[in-house]
Structure 1
Amino acid sequence: MSTRIALAVLMLVATSACAAPSSSQGANLRGKVYVSSSVTEQGKPRALVEGTRVELRFTDDDRLTANAGCNHMQSPVKLDDGKLSVADISMTAMGCPKPELHQQDEWLSNLLRATPSWKLDGANLVLTGPDTEIVLATEKPATLEGAWTVDGLVTRDAVSSVPAGVKATITFRGGAMAVDTGCNFNGGDRPYELSGQTIKVVLGPMTDKGCDQINEVEEVIAQTLGKGEFTYAINRSTLTLTNAEGTGLTLKK
């Protein structure tokens, strides 16, 4: 009899180990940010809009914030019995520069509303809906080094989007900074000095070509960086550069 009881206990332990994630395991997600590394739909890879990814952030007060490249979503979230359940998703109403971004917002919103299952696979979070699976990795803190793409123009406390089709990058690498807009900033390296959160750099001469909407972005870049000194701040994957007058840029990696 004792042998049968022991076997029953072992089977119960094994079954519990394979069970769906519990609410206590869900607490392990609190305070973490996950970003998509792969998306599969109906068994085939789904390509996201270029330059975008799915981001899920689980707050310490049991809320979920989500983003698929344009608008931000948020809702209270429950993670009981291996299911991700949102009570009511609210979404910002920004005008996305591409229709595909609006469609991608709706796609992610519909997936979250469908009470997808979730599990932790090592350090990865796997979210599975009726016909979609997203594998997300924990977000690594961004550093100043590397290439950043301008996505916002800050003037007098107002932030405007970069015009559609315009791409401007600022790269920090090995003590040199390069600005490239494909027009009057041509990506030439300029040495910079870093002191705390302050960057000092001399941009040097630039050309004066007319490049339609690119010139609007170049004007804000020149105002922000051209005075020789500006501050930087990094919040997750967003870099903000600001001069003493408050003119600035937001950039994404």
Structure 2
Amino acid sequence: MLTVVLLSALGLAGCARENAAGGGGPWGRTFLSQSTSRPLVPGTRIELRFSDGKVGFQAGCNYISGAARIDGGRLVVSEVASTAMGCDPQRAEQDTWLATFLEAGPELRLDGANLVLEGGGTTVSFVEGSVAEPDAQLVGPEWTVDTLVDGQTSGSVPAGVRAHLTFTIDGKVTGSGGCNSLTGTYTVDTETITFTAVASTRKACAEAGLVEDKVLHVLRGTAQFRIEAGRLTLTAADGTGLGLTAGRATPSPS
């Protein structure tokens, strides 16, 4: 059963941990759908993100997550919850179908970078994200914020609010927190980005202001960062974080 909540728990490990930890397989990997016997909404694809005892998945609208384990060659998913971003009826129905398909315990076959899920007459073939879509570079793309993280919970950016960041090769970061323009500087270490002198304009904001507060909070000081395929994750020391998607590239200054 798919439970829809505005903030969805991401720490659902439970007893699944013993089946995931140290077992290799899909854990710690991201897979992107390449084909499916059930047609998807045009312009969408399925993304599966496996972590220790958990799986997160998207199919063009909400981010859905649940506890996960592999039992007898089948993927067993439970305690499923979803963000509550508004979707058109076709994508909303696709979210429901995907959650139901995964909760039904499809057979899982993994061969190198290729993963197949099959059950109930439906077959979905995936390839590992790093193969299908090499990691984007930090510098160049316009990174759009689509997910707000607060510790163990995650939620979508409200419809109509657009926050984005662009990093340049000369150490500058520019963009918008969702309402006001922002600018600052940054330096990169192996797994962290340190932001300095970040400032923004001071236009009054309503709903966008709540998003902007989180964006600016993450851009104060040092944040952990990770790029996986076209996704950037920024996480502040207190667990506040941002999920961003790479868009069009911005020309670097000459």
TM-score for the superposition, normalised by structure 2: 0.60
Q: Which structure ranks higher in relative contact order (CA pairs < 8 Å, sequence separation ≥ 6)?
A: 2
Q: What secondary structure does 1:203 align onto? A: strand
Q: Contact 2:25–2:110 at 8 Å: present in 1 too?
A: no
The reply on whether 1:215 has 2:203 as its aligned counterpart is no
The reply on whether 1:250 has 2:242 as its aligned counterpart is yes
Q: What secondary structure does 1:112 align onto? A: helix
Q: What secondary structure does 1:221 align onto? A: helix
Aligned to 1:177: 173
How many residues are paired up?
Answer: 208
Aligned to 2:69: 76
| Letter in structure 2 aligned against 1:149 | T
Q: Contact 1:64–1:75 at 8 Å: present in 2 too?
A: yes
Q: Deviations over 1:134-193 (max 9, x none)?
A: 2222233957714443311549x986653233221223342332223464216x6x5422
Candidates 70, 77, 93, aligned match of 2:81:
93
- CA offset at residue 128 of structure 1? 3.4
Aligned to 2:252: none
Q: Contact 1:234–1:240 at 8 Å: present in 2 too?
A: yes
Q: What secondary structure does 1:202 align onto? A: strand
The reply on whether 1:149 has 2:144 as its aligned counterpart is yes
Aligned to 1:230: 222
Q: Percent identity?
A: 22
Question: Any stretches of 5+ residues in structure 2 without a counterpart?
Answer: 1-22, 246-254
| Letter in structure 2 aligned against 1:78 | D
| Letter in structure 2 aligned against 1:90 | S
| Letter in structure 2 aligned against 1:218 | E
- CA offset at residue 55 of structure 1? 0.5
The reply on whether 1:203 has 2:195 as its aligned counterpart is no
Q: What secondary structure does 1:107 align onto? A: helix
Q: Deviations over 1:62-82 (max 9, x none)?
A: x663423423122432354xx
| Gap change, CA 1:160 and 1:192, over 3 Å in 2 | same
Q: What secondary structure does 1:97 align onto? A: coil
Q: Deviations over 1:69-125 (max 9, x none)?
A: 423122432354xxx353xx3224344222567644431232234554554566221
Aligned to 2:101: 111
Aligned to 2:11: none
Aligned to 1:38: 34
In structure 1, C-alpha distance between the alignment counterparts of 2:149 and 2:111, rounded to whole Å: 39
Aligned to 1:138: 128
| Gap change, CA 1:170 and 1:154, over 3 Å in 2 | farther
Q: What secondary structure does 2:31 align onto? A: strand
When the two chains are superposed, the root-mean-square deviation of aligned CA atoms in Å is 4.0
| Gap change, CA 1:232 and 1:172, over 3 Å in 2 | farther
Higher helix content, 1 or 2:
1
Higher Cα Rg: structure 1 or 2? 1
In structure 1, C-alpha distance between the alignment counterparts of 2:242 and 2:174, rounded to whole Å: 16
TM-score for the superposition, normalised by structure 1: 0.61
- CA offset at residue 201 of structure 1? 2.8
Higher strand content, 1 or 2:
2
Q: Contact 2:177–2:216 at 8 Å: present in 1 too?
A: no
Candidates 217, 233, 240, aligned match of 2:234:
240
| Letter in structure 2 aligned against 1:215 | G
Q: Contact 1:39–1:47 at 8 Å: present in 2 too?
A: no
Question: Any stretches of 5+ residues in structure 1 without a counterpart?
Answer: 1-26
